[in-house]
Chain A
Amino acid sequence: DAKTTQPNSMESNEEEPVHLPCNHSTISGTDYIHWYRQLPSQGPEYVIHGLTSNVNNRMASLAIAEDRKSSTLILHRATLRDAAVYYCILLISSNTGKLIFGQGTTLQVKP
């Protein structure tokens, strides 16, 4: 399974933007980049995904490097409710869509 690398933890101040990086140097051309997050005591929830172009939705933005070997999840204004573990996952096109979770990045948001 293709591997992603994320920092173990990050801190942010409330109301400030947060950039969560992810490296995926072994990505292949048809692999999608997915981001999920897990709030305390809850199941993971989908945040955003992309293939080649940058993507925006109501929760976040996803910036994908031109060579696709890395991506960044952007929370434009962090709130206390954004404190969670954020997972960057490659959805491998050849394996019928199973999501393999790494250790993720634990985001702390300070008031």
Chain B
Amino acid sequence: DAGVIQSPRHEVTEMGQEVTLRCKPISGHDYLFWYRQTMMRGLELLIYFNNNVPIDDSGMPEDRFSAKMPNASFSTLKIQPSEPRDSAVYFCASRKTGQGRAEAFFGQGTRLTVV
């Protein structure tokens, strides 16, 4: 397996534009997580899914952020409209049910810059 695949790796956009980040989890994994990392706030959990259903979105900063998982092999994180403070590295991770025993695998991240 190629691991968790995120696209694009880098995104530069202008304030006010819509941004869509994409993630392909590892096949067979039933949990998918979206994280955001900044120097100031570290790694923050935004939202996670189990079997394509959002379980906890309490980390989503505001209504400009939305995430979907239409099937087991694809998820998107959308920001509309984007703002400069959204600039960060966004990571997607997946894991398989196993409660405390299962490790999570992270993608390489998408570095988003909003100018």
Cα A46 to Cα B45 in complex, Å, equals: 16
Any chain A CB within 8 A of the CB of B105?
Answer: yes
Question: What is the total number of residues of chain A having a CB less than 8 Å from a CB of chain B?
Answer: 24
Q: How far is the CB of A98 from chain B (nearest CB, A)?
A: 6
B97-115 residues with Cβ-Cβ distance < 8 A to A are: 97-109
B33 — which chain A residues lie within 8 A by C-beta? 98-99
B107 touches A32 (CB 8 A): no
Q: At the interface with chain A, which of B48-56, B63-71, B78-86?
A: B48-56
In the complex, the chain A residue whose C-beta lies closest to that of B91 is A43
Q: Are B106 and A97 in contact (CB under 8 A)?
A: no
Q: Do the beta carbons of A93 and B104 come within 8 Å of each other?
A: no
Main secondary structure of the interface of A (DSSP, over half): loop
User: When chains A and B are docked, how far (Å) is the Cα of A102 from the Cα of B99?
Assistant: 20
Contact of B100 among A31, A44, A45, A103 (CB under 8 A): A31
Q: Which of B43, B91, B95, B105 contacts A97, CB < 8 Å?
A: B95
Residues 88-111 of A contacting B (Cβ, < 8 Å)? 91, 93, 96-104
- A103 contacts across to B, CB distance below 8 A: 42
Contacts beyond the supplied A93-B100, A97-B95, A98-B45: 13 A-B pairs with Cβ under 8 Å: A32-B101, A43-B91, A43-B93, A44-B43, A46-B104, A49-B100, A87-B43, A96-B31, A99-B93, A99-B104, A101-B43, A101-B44, A101-B45
21 A-B residue pairs with Cβ-Cβ distance under 8 Å, sorted by A, are: A32-B100, A34-B100, A34-B103, A43-B108, A44-B93, A44-B104, A46-B103, A46-B105, A49-B100, A49-B101, A51-B100, A91-B100, A93-B100, A96-B31, A96-B55, A97-B31, A97-B95, A97-B98, A98-B33, A98-B48, A103-B42
Closest 3 CB pairs of A and B: A32-B100, A43-B106, A46-B103
By a beta-carbon cutoff of 8 Å, the part of chain A in contact with chain B is 30-32, 34, 36, 42-46, 49, 51, 87, 91, 93, 96-104
